[in-house]
Chains A and B, each alone.
Chain A
Amino acid sequence: MAKAQRANRMWRNMNAKIAAVPMILTTLVVFVGGTAWTVLYSFTDSKLLPRERWVGFDQYERLWSNSRWLTSIENLMVYGVLSLIFTISIGFLLAVAMDQKIRFEDSFRTIMLYPFALSFIVTGLVWQWILNPEFGIQSIVRGLGWESFTFNPLNNPDLVLYGLLIAGLWQGTGFVMCLMLAGLRGIDEDIWKAARVDGIPTWKTYLLIILPMMRPVFITTLVIVAAGIIKLYDLVVAQTSGGPGTASQVPAMYVYDYMFQAQNLGQGFAASSMMLLSVLIVLIPWAYLEFGGKKHG
């Protein structure tokens, strides 16, 4: 392609370059420039407006000694690990079930995936209602005669993350199931035939042959789900507003509150830079495996 245009490349490619201006501006100004700007200004004591008074790592020290931030990080870790384990294992389990030449596959898929079309706000509000202690699951089980039954996660600081998890899994597992099912369907039929000829039971084939072969699908899913978890915000706002107390605070909420409510931009910048760092910790090893490995073979 390049050869055909080499003659007077500058002139001929002009339209393509003009057409690429929005992309170039977005990548350079917003993605690279914006990110660098935020990281840079996290070293200032900006309050209501950004200002260039450099204070070194002060904002970060303040951040890591703020109990609300520490709670946010802890919550994110607990929620993140549980959410990853459950979305991926449930997603895989459902995909395997769907892959057994079942009837009504399309109906089951439609049912599993529709929550993914809904916003986190809708998800959070519905589950807030179902988990409502006065009317929801708790009151119904009590109404059945089990008077001492307690299931009130949204008002219990120790359980609130599980309340969020139930809603998060409801919204996201269908999506993971679809990715996994696509992975399963992409596996060569000959492998199944070979396993059958060798008399390996189906469950063993899944565990010992298919699972290792699906590694790329698992890694991609892991990265997508993990990147989504770090951004977790809307669901918490809708379902618990970060409460009870600060029990379900998450980093994205901390950032928003400091940037747009508390008028302490420096703190917000430092917190968001930490969020960026955590994404990089997930992303860089993945990118290295995914793209670095390709060049060698």
Chain B
Amino acid sequence: MGEHLIKMPDVGEGIAEAELVEWHVKVGDLVREDALLAAVMTDKATVEIPSPVDGEVLWLGADIGDVVAIGSPLIRLKTGDEEGAASGHDTSDKAPEAPSRPKDIEAQADGAVKTSEAVVEKQAREAPRPQPVEAPQSPPVRVHRPSGPRMEGDKPVASPAVRLRAHEAGIDLRQVPGTGPAGRITHEDLDAFLTHGPQVAKAQGLVQDTSVQHVKVIGLRRKIAEKMAVAKSRIPHITYVEEVDVTALEDLRTTLNATKRADRPKLTLLPFLMRAMVKAIADQPHLNAIYDDEAGVVHQHGGVHIGIATQTGSGLMVPIVRHAEARDIWDCATELTRLSEAAKAGLATREELSGSTITITSLGAMGGIVTTPVINYPEVAIIGVNKIMVRPVWDGSTFIPRKMMNLSSSFDHRIIDGWDAAVFVQRIKTLLETPAMIFVEA
């Protein structure tokens, strides 16, 4: 009998630690080779850790939500035979807890990590199956789901055994919510009532809910929280709001969509904005930058890598349209669709989720009138798109209905002066209001 130690694999360049977001196994489970053991998360990408061998789970090295350093022990497996020494070690005489021979374990673990890494890479390349970032499965907590109001005088539905137990415990079954068919009160309902008391028993009228749920902030939610806290605490934001008349742009967009080739994607407003940003950045390259505030260096990028803030089932993600300067409007649209779908399905790779140089945030029809976007640290600018609405606009002699849209944009005031911010947004406004300028070289 051998033992196989699996360590937290190195899931990407420069990553020192990863958060355990899900265990697929528990102690005592038998696992087959390639069976998934755990999911870990780094920088908004989730990586599944498969088992390199057949074996039985002896020990789990972390709780869900723990941040584990790369290379730390994660799982111990008991292997059934010499295959346990797949990485070339005679483990038959080794006691399960044998820290006196750390070298062996170390070497063995290296093998495991290698195997895991290989699988990780394979998965990243082929993106073979959805691996949504999921909140960890908390142990099933019985939900107190009252069966709807019981009519006055209705007898509670319960078996004689349940009725007897309730009566002996001094419980009026009319107060006990039944979760069974037809509101039937089960032994489990009675247990729950005995344990938790009648806090949700009243079915009618307004009742105080004094319950408090303790939700551990883990996984993607913690990443978002950390990132937002860093951005807001480090970056002095300046937010600039301007109104854009998108009537002409909308006409163009509608026409293009109506006349486009069948294989072309449907255009939303965002590809136009992306192309306008590329033009504006050509004049103001310091807005397309990463500010390393600790080193005191602004990395101005030639390539425009636009992050697109995307709402997914598990939270905010920012997939990146790389090299927007090298993509035409159709290409931008195609890439945008692909990425947002991948992010929503949890299929976005780590590479697709990191390395942006400027970000767009848009909530579409939910965009509101004004927002105060938080900069995607360590970038220096974020462009927020508000909703389009028809507003009356004074043309000098009369009010005419125009499709108007606000842009709410935030800038890192350490690097970007208000003037620069205004120039940038005005440039985008001009481009969007006269969309031909987006496509014509100056």
Query: Is chain B a partner of chain A in the same complex?
Result: no
